[in-house]
Structure 1
């Protein structure tokens, strides 16, 4: 957040958007998905990318299209990531953790009741964060009893299924090009 704030203060109204990467957590909080799994395309880059800051003075700024392919558009219905690249800054690092592939309910059956969670939850083995990785402070705060600890490691059955599915997913990503969204 500090880095984005500094960029906004320096570039002010000449800036429309700030793009940065993110870590897509997979399996447990200690692992993240390979960059090739990311489907977002911005400024010729593809991967786990997102627009994290938007100048609200973009004319006609609005959300459009349904969930899964939703985007933010300008007055001419052009995606904001397709506007002038000179008015966008890309931060070449991952600045947050995205937990889309994790169970976010009390168990998997409750998780699957949420719209499109069935296509989000994946059995995949990712890269391990280095021991010096700085986890967000919010993960260390006290929490209500209904919220599980984020520090639980993936269980053995997840790991075994991940051993089988990960090579297949990596092969599919490299051979078959998929579209953005889900």
Structure 2
């Protein structure tokens, strides 16, 4: 069965007809031609397909397009409107935080969202006591905290030695 859905992707409105079993990842890549999110595992385990859905990071391979009719989606490409790189993208370049680059769009989108989550006081498994209490304090984004918060994004090339410092750089600003 097919359904028509409206999606706002990287600032542009789209109306597309999809099979009701179509994931956001497949709708983005196959129906809209947006190849920024990558199809890695297709099971929500690698994070290569990470997008911002209504401002929150989501593995797009696990979300059905019909469940998000009217949604606002931002991909790594949408973080750089008019060719001006997002500060996180610039940090990834500065720190050479990629090798093959396949996971990079998902890593960058996830890192942008992770910084917002930390700023909002969202706890993690290594967050200091008090942050989760909602007292307005922020988690200290050291390497351990960043690794924990980015653990849903895998890099087959093991570029973590550069990914973590790239994120730390922007977190310090």
TM beyond 0.5: no
Of Structure 1 and Structure 2, the greater helix share is in: 2
Higher relative contact order (Cα pairs below 8 Å, separated by 6+ residues): 1
Of Structure 1 and Structure 2, the greater strand share is in: 1
TM range (shorter): under 0.3
User: TM (normalized to structure 2)?
Assistant: 0.23
User: TM (normalized to structure 1)?
Assistant: 0.22
